[in-house]
A and B are shown apart, each in its own frame.
Chain A
């Protein structure tokens, strides 16, 4: 069985995402004492670190799926699933539960990376799960630690707690009502990092943003939770107000936009990933607002996910040329938006 066969489903946390706060995530990285970080390790040393970590992990991951990230294709595939990230390397081993809620990654940029993701506004929940894993693991491993810096990590952006919380938000109202300067003002004051979610993280696409805690030194993890939570609440309020303003003062313009996006998705023959995100996210917004004649939000979530280059190409068992991908995408979206599969 090909490695991607068991990943033919949309990640459940993505499929069940919340309306404004799409999903919440906590992750931490740790390294074993006295060992180089993976980027500097030879393959023998990597195997040794793997064995040492796996001994205490094997019961936990007994029912998990195991994938060796040994090709760039696999790396890109799991980056699109948001288990790896754009800075990940080839050469790690991944364990994920079937819901892709909890993942352990061994020998990526650090010896161990744990991540927990849940749909909707679940910051408290992911925080507790991650903290519990931190506590358990502290008793099982000898982690690299210094009195001065705390936990030692391969990247100086993680030194200290090695812990980060992040939230994925869908905020088309703020973007369409041109309230972006309000969120910028809010984020400048807070110790928060703002990123895009699809493709390169520096660009914001599809009206999704990802905000995460910034500091791993000088701030305790409870405090960083509180700070992020405050920003999320403020953003949700701004998004709700923006939606009210749009409905009250620009309903026709909004309907026009939705109709145009629908028409393009129904008839285009060439569709880039970026363009698909733009139109699908407008339709998703319309579905949330209860507009008639647009696909169901659940269908749209799925389409947004499977329009990404590597996943789209996995539908064709990776037998599609890069140059054909934009045709395939247009075809795929036409079929589903028109509802030709009756779904």
Chain B
């Protein structure tokens, strides 16, 4: 049987079996909902009526544990940025003093910056269109993205300054 009270606060009842992988070693702790959520740093925990195993501390895409991200400052795949968003924002704030992308350039070439932003928005729309099987829309979006790619290539080969 598990312990009655949360291992962190010792006040609230333990409701979650909290599994953490640190340097490849599995640690099991029994925590209350509040403390478990704090530990998970913004990752949604799946709760059920009974004690629940929580594996939210490992990126489902690549298997990188959050503990590894924190110690190495490295992530395993682009999805880690979504899965661990809260924790990564904290780390970036400490590391870089900021979490916001300042763009690749100054205002002189804002045209390119805009094109890149638009391109990435269109790509998200394209994904959605494909998911919804709206192929007509997807084809249009693909053409639009290709046009932007051409434009970016042209700008790259013919810098304006």
- Interface residues in chain A, defined as those with a beta carbon under 8 Å from any beta carbon in chain B: 31, 33-37, 39-40, 109, 128, 131-140, 142, 144-150, 152, 154-157, 159-161, 163, 214-223
Say which one of B15-23, B47-55, B96-104, B128-136 lies at the interface with A: B96-104
Complexed CA–CA distance, A35 and B61 (Å): 10
B120 close to A36 (CB less than 8 A):
no
A135 close to B156 (CB less than 8 A):
yes
A145 close to B120 (CB less than 8 A):
yes
Interface residues of B in 76-111 (CB under 8 A from A): 76-78, 81, 85, 88, 91-92, 95-106
Q: Is B9 an interface residue (CB 8 A)?
A: no
Determine the chain A residues whose CB is within 8 A of the CB of B104 once the complex forms. 131, 134, 161, 163, 220-221
A48 to chain B, nearest CB (A): 14
Interface centre among A31, A35, A144, A222 (most CB of B within 10 A): A222
B91 close to A215 (CB less than 8 A):
no
B160 to chain A, nearest CB (A): 11
Residue of B nearest to A225 (CB): B106
Contact check: which of A139, A142, A157 meets B73 at CB < 8 Å?
Answer: A157
B76 close to A39 (CB less than 8 A):
yes
Determine the chain A residues whose CB is within 8 A of the CB of B63 once the complex forms. 40
Q: Is B62 an interface residue (CB 8 A)?
A: yes
Q: Is B117 an interface residue (CB 8 A)?
A: yes
Complexed CA–CA distance, A219 and B105 (Å): 9
A229 to chain B, nearest CB (A): 14
Contact check: which of B92, B98, B101, B153 meets A156 at CB < 8 Å?
Answer: B92
Residue of A nearest to B157 (CB): A136
B78 close to A139 (CB less than 8 A):
no
B81 close to A149 (CB less than 8 A):
yes
Determine the chain B residues whose CB is within 8 A of the CB of A218 once the complex forms. 96-100, 102
Residue of B nearest to A141 (CB): B149
Determine the chain B residues whose CB is within 8 A of the CB of A142 once the complex forms. 123
Complexed CA–CA distance, A90 and B154 (Å): 36
Determine the chain B residues whose CB is within 8 A of the CB of A136 once the complex forms. 153, 156-157
Complexed CA–CA distance, A33 and B106 (Å): 25
- Interface residues in chain B, defined as those with a beta carbon under 8 Å from any beta carbon in chain A: 61-64, 69, 73-78, 81, 85, 88, 91-92, 95-106, 112, 116-117, 120, 123, 149-157, 159
Complexed CA–CA distance, A138 and B103 (Å): 13
B78 close to A160 (CB less than 8 A):
no
A36 close to B156 (CB less than 8 A):
no
A160 close to B102 (CB less than 8 A):
yes
Interface centre among B75, B100, B105 (most CB of A within 10 A): B75
Determine the chain B residues whose CB is within 8 A of the CB of A39 once the complex forms. 74, 76
B159 to chain A, nearest CB (A): 6
B152 close to A37 (CB less than 8 A):
no
**Could you show 18 A-B contacts with beta carbons less than 8 Å apart?**
A37-B62, A37-B75, A37-B76, A40-B63, A131-B159, A135-B152, A136-B157, A148-B100, A150-B102, A150-B103, A156-B73, A156-B74, A156-B95, A157-B73, A161-B101, A215-B96, A219-B98, A221-B105
A148 close to B76 (CB less than 8 A):
no
Contact check: which of A140, A145, A154, A156 meets B88 at CB < 8 Å?
Answer: A156
B96 to chain A, nearest CB (A): 4
Contact check: which of B85, B102, B117, B151 meets A161 at CB < 8 Å?
Answer: B102
Residue of A nearest to B98 (CB): A218
B156 close to A138 (CB less than 8 A):
yes
Complexed CA–CA distance, A222 and B123 (Å): 27
B98 close to A220 (CB less than 8 A):
no
Contact check: which of B78, B81, B97, B112 meets A135 at CB < 8 Å?
Answer: B112
B81 close to A40 (CB less than 8 A):
no
Complexed CA–CA distance, A137 and B149 (Å): 9
Determine the chain A residues whose CB is within 8 A of the CB of B101 once the complex forms. 147-150, 160-161, 217
Complexed CA–CA distance, A220 and B112 (Å): 14
Residue of A nearest to B70 (CB): A156
Contact check: which of B64, B77, B116 meets A35 at CB < 8 Å?
Answer: B77
Determine the chain B residues whose CB is within 8 A of the CB of A157 once the complex forms. 73, 95-96
Residue of A nearest to B95 (CB): A156
A156 close to B106 (CB less than 8 A):
no
A127 to chain B, nearest CB (A): 11
A327 to chain B, nearest CB (A): 39
Residue of B nearest to A145 (CB): B120
Residue of B nearest to A150 (CB): B101
A144 close to B78 (CB less than 8 A):
yes
A215 close to B74 (CB less than 8 A):
no
Determine the chain B residues whose CB is within 8 A of the CB of A140 once the complex forms. 149, 153
Q: A147-B117, A220-B103 are in contact. Are A138 and B81 (CB under 8 A)?
A: no
